[in-house]
Amino acid sequence: MPKYEIDAMRYVAGKVDKLHEEFKNSKAAVTGIQGNNPFGEIRHPDDHDHTKPPTHPMPSDNMANGVGKFTEGAQGEFEAGANHMAATSDFLRTAASMMEEQDNQAGDALKRTEKQ
């Protein structure tokens, strides 16, 4: 097998490593809500008396919880993508090493045959 295919596999493995880092950076960029609830204190329509504690879940809390669940899901997807990229990179490097070893052994066998 030509040497350039092994070099190409190692080159692609390096590019896949960069994708792994991009997935990690993207995961870190999805932060969700930081600090106070940005939706304020939106009350349920049936809780029109603001002098009493709410008797129904507050829609603003539900919205914040929804953003939190979305954040967790998106971060999970980015983490899965990063793991796939790491595994792909490892596989490419292992395959390239195995191919190189096989090429070297085939070359040695050919040299022994030529000497006979």
Q: pLDDT tens, 58-100?
A: 888 889 999 999 999 999 999 999 999 999 999 999 999 999 9
Distance CA 71, CA 61 (A): 15
- For the entire predicted model, the pTM comes to 0.73
Distance CA 20, CA 99 (A): 24
Q: pLDDT tens, 5-32?
A: 899 999 999 999 999 999 999 999 999 9
pLDDT at 86 (0 to 100): 97
pLDDT at 1 (0 to 100): 47
Across 33-37, 48-52, 84-88, least confident range: 48-52
